[in-house]
Amino acid sequence: MKLRLSLGLVLLTLSAAGWAQTAPLPDWDTLSPQQREALIAPVRDRWNDAPAPQRERMLQHGQRWLTMTPEQRAQAQRGRHRFENMTPEQREQARALFGQMRSMSPEQRQALRDRWARMTPDERKAWLKANPAPPPPPPPKR
């Protein structure tokens, strides 16, 4: 039994290693029209299902992305991944803080971060109650 399990693990490892060594995916310019369509279709559907304010936000985000350096893009992706892994309560806190910081100067933002770090959980709850997060955008219609 141990031999079969060991052999199975070795085969699984070898097949995974072989899978990881496949040729790199092509650049956009060398994708076929069908491959490009498969990549674009979900974005087109989100755009078509979105109300005008969300479309405007999507377009602004796309335009901003084009002006970002590779480092800024990587930082934005890390932030998105961090947000996706937050609990609902943490997301609500992040939305509230971001909503407040959006109109602040860099010095004011740092002061709020410092103040937030010193707050107790009860003080944070009181701050959140006094400074609620803006409502999240509605999910796209499907």
Task: Report residue 65 as tokens.
Answer: 């992305």
What average pLDDT does range 89-98 have in this prediction?
Answer: 90
Q: Please measure the distance between the N-terminal and C-terminal CA atoms of the chain and give it in whole angstroms.
A: 50
Of residues 123 and 137, the one with the higher pLDDT is 123
At a CB cut-off of 8 Å and minimum separation 6, what does 98 contact? 133
Residue 134 has pLDDT above 90, yes or no: no
Task: Report residue 82 as tokens.
Answer: 């961090």
Residue 6 has pLDDT above 50, yes or no: no
Distance CA 113, CA 107 (A): 10
Judge whether 132 and 96 are in contact, CB under 8 Å.
yes
Q: Which amino acid is located at 32 in the chain?
A: S
Q: Which pLDDT score is estimated for 10?
A: 45
Judge whether 118 and 77 are in contact, CB under 8 Å.
no
